[in-house]
C-alpha cells in the first residue's frame, strides 16, 4: 500500500498535474477577483472566505480525472483489481495521494493568498477548515473518477457529478472561516465539516471500489 501511495505521488508530480498546476490556478483566482469586484478593502474582506474556498475547490477539480484514468489506459488498474490488495484500499490510497499533491499545498498556501484579499484575521481557522475539508474533496473526487474511468472525455461529466457533492463541504468550510474572522463561535460548522469528511472517508472507498468493479468488467 505504501508503494502504491509513493508511486501515485511520483506520477502526479511527473505528469504535471500535481501541486504546481493546482497552486497556479488557486493563485490566478485570488489575483483576478479584486479586478472583478473592485479594490475596496471591506468588500474583499467580506468575500475572502468564499473566494478562497471556491478557488481551492476548483483547483482540486483540475487533476481528478488523473486519479484512475492513467492506470486504466495502461492496464495497471486491471492488475490492481486482481492483486491481493482490497480495491477499497486502492481507492483510498489514490485519494490520499491526490490530497497530498493538491489539497495539502492549497491548505498551506491559502493563508498567504488570503492577504491579497485583505483578510486581517481568521488565518488559523482558514488553515484548519481546509485541512479538514480538502480530504473530503479528494475522496469525493476519487469516487467520481471511479464512476467515469471507462468513458472517453469524461472530464466534463466528472465535474458535473462531483460539484453538487462538493457543495456541503464548501458551505461549512467557508462558514468556519467567516465566523472565525469575525470572532464568532465556529463549533457547529466545524463539527459538521469534520462529520462530512469522516463520513466520506468511511463510505466512499467502498462506493469507489464498487464503481471500479463495474467499469472493469
Q: Which structural domain, as residue segments, surrounds residue 160?
A: 2-215
- pLDDT tens for each residue of 59-109: 988 888 778 877 777 777 777 777 778 888 888 988 998 898 888 999 999
Task: Please give the angle made by the CA atoms of 96, 205 and 74, to the nearest 5 degrees.
Answer: 70
Cα separation, 62 vs 165, in Å, equals 16
Mean pLDDT estimate for the chain: 86
Cell 472517453, residue located: 152
Cα–Cα distance list, 150 to 23, 49, 188 (Å): 28, 36, 40
Query: How do the residues of the chain divide into helix, strand and coil, expressed in percent and rounded to 5?
Result: 85, 0, 15
Number of domains the chain contains: 1
Say whether 115 sits in a helix, a strand or coil.
Answer: helix
Is the pTM for the entire model greater than 0.85? yes
**pLDDT the model gives residue 215:** 80
Q: Is it the case that residue 179 has pLDDT exceeding 80?
A: yes
Q: pLDDT tens-digit profile of 47-71?
A: 999 999 999 999 988 888 778 877 7
Has residue 17 got a pLDDT over 60?
A: no
C-alpha separations of 194 from 7, 126, 175 in Å: 28, 14, 13
Amino acid at each position: 500500500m505504501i508503494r502504491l501511495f509513493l508511486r501515485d505521488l511520483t506520477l502526479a508530480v511527473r505528469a504535471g498535474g500535481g501541486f504546481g498546476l493546482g497552486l497556479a490556478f488557486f493563485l490566478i483566482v485570488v489575483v483576478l477577483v479584486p479586478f472583478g469586484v473592485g479594490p475596496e478593502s471591506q468588500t474583499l474582506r467580506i468575500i475572502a472566505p468564499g473566494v478562497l474556498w471556491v478557488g481551492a475547490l476548483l483547483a482540486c477539480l483540475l487533476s481528478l480525472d488523473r486519479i484512475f484514468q492513467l492506470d486504466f489506459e495502461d492496464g495497471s488498474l486491471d492488475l490492481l483489481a486482481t492483486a491481493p490488495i482490497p480495491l477499497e484500499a486502492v481507492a483510498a490510497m489514490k485519494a490520499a495521494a491526490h490530497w497530498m499533491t493538491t489539497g495539502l499545498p492549497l491548505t498551506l498556501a491559502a493563508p498567504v493568498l488570503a492577504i491579497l484579499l485583505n483578510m486581517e484575521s481568521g488565518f488559523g481557522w482558514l488553515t484548519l477548515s481546509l485541512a479538514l475539508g480538502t480530504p473530503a474533496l479528494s475522496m469525493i473526487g476519487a469516487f467520481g473518477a471511479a464512476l467515469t474511468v471507462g468513458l472517453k472525455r469524461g472530464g466534463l461529466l466528472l465535474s458535473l457529478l462531483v460539484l453538487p457533492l462538493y457543495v456541503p463541504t464548501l458551505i461549512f468550510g467557508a462558514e468556519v472561516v467567516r465566523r472565525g474572522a469575525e470572532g464568532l463561535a465556529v463549533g457547529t460548522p466545524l463539527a459538521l465539516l469534520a462529520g462530512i469528511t469522516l463520513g466520506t472517508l468511511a463510505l466512499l472507498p467502498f462506493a469507489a471500489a464498487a464503481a471500479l468493479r463495474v467499469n472493469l468488467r
